[in-house]
Amino acid sequence: MFSQRLQDAINDQINAEYYSAYLYLSMAAYLEYKDLPGMAHWMRMQYEEEVFHALKFFDFMNDRGGRVILKAIEAPPADFGSVEAIFAQVLEHEQHVTARIHDLYKLAVEEGDYPTQTLLQWFIDEQVEEEKSASDVLARVRMVKDYPPGILLIDQELAQRPAPTPPAAEAA
C-alpha cells in the first residue's frame, strides 16, 4: 500500500526538485550576466535534469495512484559571488539533495514500500553522479583560482555538456 506519509514526502521532494531546477536556472542567469556562457550552459543542463527528476517522481506518484499536490516554489538567490562560490554551492546543494533522497529511502523501508525503494535506488545512484560532477568542476575551478585564462578554459569545457536524456527516451 502507498501510504499517505510516503506520498506527502514524495510531494515535498517534487517541490525540492523544482526548487533545485529554479536554483540552477538562477545560477545560469547570473553566469550569463558575468559573460560565462559555457558555465551558464552547464547550469541550464542542471536545470533540465532537475525538472526531469521532478517529473520522474510526479509520474511515479500518478502510476501508483497517489495524489500529486504541487506547492509554491521558493525564490532562489540571484547573486552568487565568484565562480568558486557558485560551484561550492552546487556541491553543497547536491549533498543536501542526497540526504533528502536517503531520508526518503529510509521512510520507504520503514513503510515496507518496495516499489518506492526501487525508484529511490535510481535516485541514489544518480546522486553519486551529481555529486561527482559538481565536485570535479569545483576542483578544476579551485586549481585555477581566479586566473582568467583558466576560468575561460573551464567555461569552454562546460559549454560541451550534452543535454540530459528526455523522460520519454529513458522510459523506452
Query: Using CA atoms, how far apart are residues 18 and 37, in angstroms rounded to an integer?
Result: 23
The pLDDT, as a whole number, for residue 167 is 58
CA distance 142 to 84: 7
pLDDT score recorded for residue 109: 98
- Helices 83-111, 37-63: axis angle to 10 degrees equals 10
Cα separation of 61 and 67, whole Å? 7
What is the C-alpha to C-alpha distance for residues 39 and 98, in angstroms, rounded to an integer?
23
User: What's the pLDDT score for residue 164?
Assistant: 82
User: Each residue's pLDDT tens digit in the chain (172 positions)?
Assistant: 799 999 999 999 999 999 999 999 999 999 999 999 999 999 999 999 999 999 999 999 999 999 999 999 999 999 999 999 999 999 999 999 999 999 999 999 999 999 999 999 999 999 999 999 999 999 999 999 878 899 999 999 999 988 887 655 555 5
Contacts (Cβ under 8 Å, ≥6 apart) of 56? 119, 122, 167
pLDDT of residue 48: 96
Position 168 scores a pLDDT of: 57
| 4-171 has CATH 1.10.390.10 classification | no
Domain ranges of the chain: 4-171
- Measured over the CA atoms of residue 52, residue 14, residue 171 and residue 115, the dihedral's sign is positive
pLDDT attached to residue 30: 98
